[in-house]
C-alpha cells in the first residue's frame, strides 16, 4: 500500500474497496473507503464509488483498474482477456503488479476480518455510513 510506484494512494484504496465489496467484508469496505478519503480521492469519486463504471468522475484508466479489482477478487477468478486488454491500454506491467498486490493483500484482509468478525472502529463506521450506506452498507457482524 506504500506509494512507491505510479498508482496513486487514492486509487489503491479504491481498488481495495472494490475488492472488499466483491468479497462482502463490511469491515474492509468501510476502512478502504475511509482510507481513500484520507489519501486524496476526489469527493465526487467517494460519493459515486458504486457507479465507477459510468460516473464521469472516473477516468477510463481508473475504470480499467477497478474492473480488474472486481474480477480478480472473485472466486473463481473472473479476469478475462477483455479485462486484461483494457487494463493494458492504460497501465504497464509494473503498475498492474502494483494493483494486484493491493488486491491480494485485501484478499487476505477480507477473509481474516470477515471470518473473525473484527470489531469495526467508530471512524470507519462513520465513513461507511456516509459513502456506502445509501447502497445498503451496514456494520453487520463487525460490532
pLDDT at position 85, please?
Answer: 98
**What single-letter DSSP state applies at residue 134?**
G
- All three cell numbers of 130: 456516509
pLDDT score, position 5:
79
- The pLDDT, as a whole number, for residue 6 is 84
**How would CATH label the architecture of 9-135?**
Up-down Bundle (1.20)
Q: Give the residues of the chain that fall short of pLDDT 50.
A: none
pLDDT for the residue 3: 77
How far apart (Å, rounded) are the C-alpha atoms in residues 88 and 97?
12
Q: How far apart are CA 67 and CA 65, in angstroms?
A: 6
The domain spans of the chain are: 9-135
Q: pLDDT value at position 4?
A: 77
Q: Where are the alpha helices (DSSP H) in 5-141?
A: 9-23, 26-38, 43-47, 60-73, 81-88, 93-116, 122-127
Amino acid at each position: 500500500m506504500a506509494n512507491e510506484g505510479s498508482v496513486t494512494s487514492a486509487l489503491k484504496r479504491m481498488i481495495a474497496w472494490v475488492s472488499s465489496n466483491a468479497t462482502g467484508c463490511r469491515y474492509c469496505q468501510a476502512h478502504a473507503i475511509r482510507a481513500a478519503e484520507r489519501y486524496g480521492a476526489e469527493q465526487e469519486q467517494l460519493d459515486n464509488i458504486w457507479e465507477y463504471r459510468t460516473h464521469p468522475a472516473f477516468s477510463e484508466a481508473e475504470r480499467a483498474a477497478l474492473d480488474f479489482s472486481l474480477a480478480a477478487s472473485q472466486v473463481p477468478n473472473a479476469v478475462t482477456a477483455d479485462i486484461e486488454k483494457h487494463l493494458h491500454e492504460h497501465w504497464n506491467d509494473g503498475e498492474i503488479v502494483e494493483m494486484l498486490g493491493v488486491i491480494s493483500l485485501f484478499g487476505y484482509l477480507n477473509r481474516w476480518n470477515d471470518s473473525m468478525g473484527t470489531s469495526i472502529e467508530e471512524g470507519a463506521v462513520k465513513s461507511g455510513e456516509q459513502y456506502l450506506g445509501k447502497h445498503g452498507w451496514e456494520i453487520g457482524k463487525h460490532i
